[in-house]
Amino acid sequence: MKPYLAAAIQMNSSPELAENLNQAEDLIDLAVRQGATLVTLPENFAFLGEESLKMSMADKIAAESEQFLKIMAQRYQIALFGGGFPVPIKGDKVYNTASLFGPDGIQLTTYKKVHLFDVNLPDGNTYQESLTVFSGTELPPVYPSEEFGALGLSVCYDVRFPELYRHLSKQGADILLIPAAFTAFTGKDHWQVLLQARAIENTCYVIAPAQTGKHYARRQSHGHALIVDPWGTVLADAGDKPGVAIAPIDPDRLEQVRRQMPSLNHRVFG
C-alpha cells in the first residue's frame, strides 16, 4: 500500500433511520473533501434506539444500511466500512453485522459481532445485547487490500478481548477497525487506553469511529473517535461532538515500528 488518509466518523445517531443516514452522508462528504479514501462509520450508525423498535424495524434497517454503504462507496469512490447494524436471521434475533465495501460498491467482507455487551454499570444503566442479538460464531476476517493494507474487522465490545486482535495480527492485519458506541460511563476510563493497547501490542494502526452524546432515554455515548498509530500515539481525536477524525496511514511508519519493536516475532504462546 501507499500512504493514504483514513477517516473515523463520529455520529450522534438516534431512532430516526433517515436522519441518521443523512447525518452519515454529510460526514462522509466532509471526510472525502478532506482527502480521506478509507472512511469508517461507527456501530449503530443507522439506528440507535430502543431494542423493541430496532427489532420491529430490523429488516428495513438492514436493507437501507447495505444499500447506503454501497451507494456512498460508489459515489465517493472510497472504501467504506459500516460498523454494526442489525441483520435479521430466523427467529426473533439479529446479527450485529459490520460490512466493508469497495469503491466499486462491491461488498468485500463482513463480520458478525462475537462479544455481546451484557453488563450492569454502576451508573444505573443495564445493557443486555444478547436479548436481541445472536453472537457470531466465526473469528473476524482480515481483508487484504493492496491499496489500504490488511484490514482487520471487529466491533465495539470486542476491544476488551485481546485474543481477538492477536488473531487478526497473526492473520497479517496492518490496520484494526474498531467501530463503537461506547458508553459514556466506561468510555471516560477505558476507551482510549484500550485502543492504544490494541495498537501497541499488535503494532497496528487502529481506526475507531464512534458514537457521541445522548441518543434516547438514558443512553449516552463517550465520543472521541480516534486514529492511533502502531506506537500507540493518538493521531486524531474527534472530541465529543459529531465530526470526523482524519489521519495518515503510512506503511513506512508501520514498518519502522515493527522493526524497532518486533514483539510479534517474539511470541512464545501462539
Residues annotated as catalytic (active site), given as ranges:
43, 113, 156
DSSP symbol at 101: E
Among 57, 46, 51, smallest CA distance to 18 is for 46
* 197 CB-near residues (< 8 Å, 6+ apart): 162, 232
Angle, nearest 10°, between helix axes 58-76 and 17-33? 20
- Distances in Å between the Cα of 169 and the Cα atoms of 101, 166, 192, 246 are 21, 5, 20, 23
Residue 118: count of CB within 10 angstroms of its CB: 13
The per-residue b/e assignment along 184-218, b for 16 or more CB within 10 angstroms, e otherwise, is bbbbeebbbebbbbbbbebbbbbbbbbbbbebeee
